[in-house]
Amino acid sequence: MLNPGAECNAGLLRPRFGRIRTAAWYLFGWSLCSIWVRRYLNAKVVGRSSVPAKGSFIFASNHASYLDPILLGTSIHRSLNYMAQEGLFEKGFFGWAMPRVQAFPVKRGEGDLGAIRQALKLLKTGKPLVMFPEGTRTENRELQHGKPGIGFIVARSGVPVVPAYIEGSFDVLPKDAKELKRRQIKVYIGEPMQFEATNDRAAYQKISDDIMARIAGLKEFCEASA
């Protein structure tokens, strides 16, 4: 005989077990990638202490390679969430792996309301989110103009933005490359930026521009330290 109470409890427990499985996959992937990044790419991180120990924030970086999410994820000791282009979720291994490393799809080049709602929901529950203000990978290693999308999410959420600059990922795996090259990676992390929550659309691009300016400053610091 079926037990309605047991069915109800099982239904309540399924989401919890799902979250535990995702966290376990994330930790497993983070551990493997951390070893690879340290040993193969000799990765160095500058400014890790700038990352908030708890609470939500947006981890905003330049974007030069498919490796950038991995490099950001292994640069700090907090579990991150990722926005990734929708097409990656349709490609074999990536389609399987993406949900297991706390990534969710976004339609590039259009206002994806579903992805925006998911981003705001994660931030509201205290979870960090990786975003690339430029929206796509650079083709010439130079920084690109930021898109207003990140400004919208920052303005609506009111969470701090932690800027970062990744040096070397373009040399390891640039856009359209078919194989990896062994180069050193450096991740420079800046102090958190705080913006006021607002519904003013004119502020969205300004916020994005300010974030990109801070990333450009980290790039200059990296070049001066070379």
Which has the higher per-residue pLDDT, 178 or 53? 53
Give the per-residue pLDDT at 16.
61
pLDDT of residue 92 exceeding 60:
yes
119-158 residues labelled b (16+ CB within 10 A) or e (exposed):
bbebbeeebbbbbbbbbebbeeeebbebbbbbbbbbbbbe
Tokens of 95: 């389609």
Q: How far is CA 10 from the centre of its chain?
A: 33
Give the per-residue pLDDT at 6.
46
pLDDT of residue 211 exceeding 90:
yes
Hey, where are the domains in the chain? 4-225
CA pseudo-torsion sign 146, 151, 152, 157: positive
**Position 18 confidence tier, pLDDT thresholds 50, 70, 90:** low
Beta strand 44-46 with 186-189: parallel, antiparallel or unpaired?
parallel
Does the domain formed by 4-225 have CATH 3.40.50.1970? no
Identify each DSSP E strand in the chain by its residue range: 44-46, 58-61, 81-85, 103-106, 129-131, 161-167, 186-189
**Position 126 confidence tier, pLDDT thresholds 50, 70, 90:** very high
User: Which of 85, 219, 64 is CA-nearest to residue 139?
Assistant: 64
Length of the chain: 226
